[in-house]
Amino acid sequence: MADAPPAAPSLPSDWSALPALPYVAPRQATPQVSAFVAGEIAAGRCVAQRPADGHYVLRVDVATLVGADGTIHRVVPHAIACPTIEQYAAGLVTGFARGNIALHPGMTDSWYRTTIVFDWRG
Protein backbone atom coordinates (compact mmCIF):
# COMPACT_ATOMS: atom_id res chain seq x y z
CA MET A 1 0.00 0.00 0.00
CA ALA A 2 1.41 3.38 -1.01
CA ASP A 3 1.92 6.05 1.59
CA ALA A 4 -0.71 8.80 1.43
CA PRO A 5 0.68 12.28 0.81
CA PRO A 6 0.82 14.40 3.95
CA ALA A 7 -2.26 16.50 4.58
CA ALA A 8 -1.96 20.20 3.79
CA PRO A 9 -1.73 22.38 6.87
CA SER A 10 -4.98 23.97 8.00
CA LEU A 11 -5.44 27.70 7.66
CA PRO A 12 -4.96 29.21 11.12
CA SER A 13 -7.70 31.44 12.48
CA ASP A 14 -5.16 34.09 13.56
CA TRP A 15 -3.71 35.41 10.31
CA SER A 16 -1.50 37.93 12.13
CA ALA A 17 0.78 35.04 13.13
CA LEU A 18 1.37 34.01 9.50
CA PRO A 19 4.73 34.96 7.99
CA ALA A 20 4.75 37.36 5.06
CA LEU A 21 4.51 35.81 1.60
CA PRO A 22 8.18 35.53 0.53
CA TYR A 23 8.13 37.23 -2.86
CA VAL A 24 11.39 37.32 -4.82
CA ALA A 25 10.27 40.66 -6.29
CA PRO A 26 7.52 42.40 -4.28
CA ARG A 27 4.44 43.47 -6.21
CA GLN A 28 1.85 46.17 -5.59
CA ALA A 29 -1.47 47.21 -7.04
CA THR A 30 -1.08 49.68 -9.89
CA PRO A 31 -3.54 52.51 -10.61
CA GLN A 32 -5.02 50.33 -13.37
CA VAL A 33 -5.58 47.49 -10.90
CA SER A 34 -7.16 49.87 -8.38
CA ALA A 35 -9.47 51.19 -11.11
CA PHE A 36 -11.45 47.93 -11.06
CA VAL A 37 -12.01 48.28 -7.30
CA ALA A 38 -12.93 51.95 -7.69
CA GLY A 39 -15.51 50.91 -10.30
CA GLU A 40 -17.06 48.33 -7.98
CA ILE A 41 -17.38 50.94 -5.23
CA ALA A 42 -18.71 53.63 -7.58
CA ALA A 43 -21.32 51.22 -9.02
CA GLY A 44 -22.55 50.42 -5.52
CA ARG A 45 -21.69 46.71 -5.77
CA CYS A 46 -19.41 47.12 -2.76
CA VAL A 47 -19.42 49.60 0.07
CA ALA A 48 -16.52 51.70 1.29
CA GLN A 49 -16.63 54.74 3.52
CA ARG A 50 -16.15 57.88 1.45
CA PRO A 51 -13.13 59.68 2.87
CA ALA A 52 -13.37 63.41 3.49
CA ASP A 53 -10.44 64.10 1.18
CA GLY A 54 -11.72 61.76 -1.58
CA HIS A 55 -8.66 59.49 -1.33
CA TYR A 56 -9.72 55.86 -0.93
CA VAL A 57 -7.49 53.14 0.43
CA LEU A 58 -8.91 49.63 0.62
CA ARG A 59 -6.84 46.75 2.01
CA VAL A 60 -7.56 43.07 1.43
CA ASP A 61 -5.62 40.52 3.46
CA VAL A 62 -4.94 37.27 1.64
CA ALA A 63 -3.66 33.96 3.04
CA THR A 64 -1.74 31.75 0.61
CA LEU A 65 -0.78 28.09 0.96
CA VAL A 66 2.58 27.63 -0.73
CA GLY A 67 4.10 24.23 -1.41
CA ALA A 68 7.69 23.33 -0.60
CA ASP A 69 8.47 23.80 -4.31
CA GLY A 70 6.95 27.31 -4.42
CA THR A 71 3.70 26.16 -6.03
CA ILE A 72 0.59 28.07 -4.98
CA HIS A 73 -1.92 25.52 -3.67
CA ARG A 74 -4.63 27.73 -2.22
CA VAL A 75 -5.43 31.43 -1.90
CA VAL A 76 -8.01 32.70 0.61
CA PRO A 77 -9.01 36.37 0.79
CA HIS A 78 -10.19 37.78 4.10
CA ALA A 79 -13.88 38.67 3.90
CA ILE A 80 -14.54 42.40 3.40
CA ALA A 81 -18.25 42.01 2.48
CA CYS A 82 -17.52 42.30 -1.24
CA PRO A 83 -16.96 38.95 -2.97
CA THR A 84 -15.93 40.49 -6.32
CA ILE A 85 -13.10 42.49 -4.76
CA GLU A 86 -12.12 39.59 -2.49
CA GLN A 87 -11.81 37.25 -5.48
CA TYR A 88 -10.04 39.93 -7.52
CA ALA A 89 -7.45 40.30 -4.74
CA ALA A 90 -7.03 36.50 -4.55
CA GLY A 91 -6.44 36.39 -8.31
CA LEU A 92 -3.88 39.18 -8.10
CA VAL A 93 -1.96 37.37 -5.36
CA THR A 94 -2.00 34.17 -7.42
CA GLY A 95 -0.57 36.05 -10.40
CA PHE A 96 1.95 38.02 -8.31
CA ALA A 97 3.19 34.83 -6.61
CA ARG A 98 3.44 32.55 -9.66
CA GLY A 99 7.15 31.91 -10.21
CA ASN A 100 7.95 34.66 -7.69
CA ILE A 101 8.32 32.82 -4.38
CA ALA A 102 11.71 32.78 -2.66
CA LEU A 103 12.53 29.17 -1.83
CA HIS A 104 14.72 28.16 1.08
CA PRO A 105 16.17 24.83 2.25
CA GLY A 106 13.80 22.84 4.41
CA MET A 107 10.74 24.71 3.17
CA THR A 108 7.50 22.81 3.73
CA ASP A 109 3.91 23.43 2.64
CA SER A 110 3.03 26.52 4.66
CA TRP A 111 0.51 29.35 4.91
CA TYR A 112 1.66 32.92 4.36
CA ARG A 113 -0.11 36.27 4.38
CA THR A 114 0.00 39.32 2.21
CA THR A 115 -2.10 42.45 1.82
CA ILE A 116 -3.22 43.98 -1.45
CA VAL A 117 -3.68 47.74 -1.11
CA PHE A 118 -6.00 49.46 -3.57
CA ASP A 119 -5.49 53.23 -3.63
CA TRP A 120 -7.45 55.77 -5.70
CA ARG A 121 -9.15 59.15 -5.70
CA GLY A 122 -12.92 59.08 -5.91
% of the chain surpassing 90 pLDDT: 83
pLDDT in tens, 65-99: 999 999 999 999 999 999 999 999 999 999 999 99
What average pLDDT does range 107-113 have in this prediction?
96
Please state, rounded to an integer, the average pLDDT across all residues of the chain: 92
Number of Cβ within 10 Å of residue 39's Cβ equals 13
Contact 120, 35 (CB under 8 A): yes
| Confidence at residue 50, expressed as pLDDT on a 0 to 100 scale | 83
CATH architecture for residues 18-121: 2-Layer Sandwich (3.30)
| Confidence at residue 2, expressed as pLDDT on a 0 to 100 scale | 57
Residue 104: is its pLDDT beyond 70?
yes
What average pLDDT does range 18-47 have in this prediction?
94
The alpha-carbon radius of gyration of the chain (Å, integer) is: 16
- When pLDDT is cut at 50, 70 and 90, the band that residue 29 belongs to is confident
Ordered by start, the domain boundaries in the chain are: 18-121
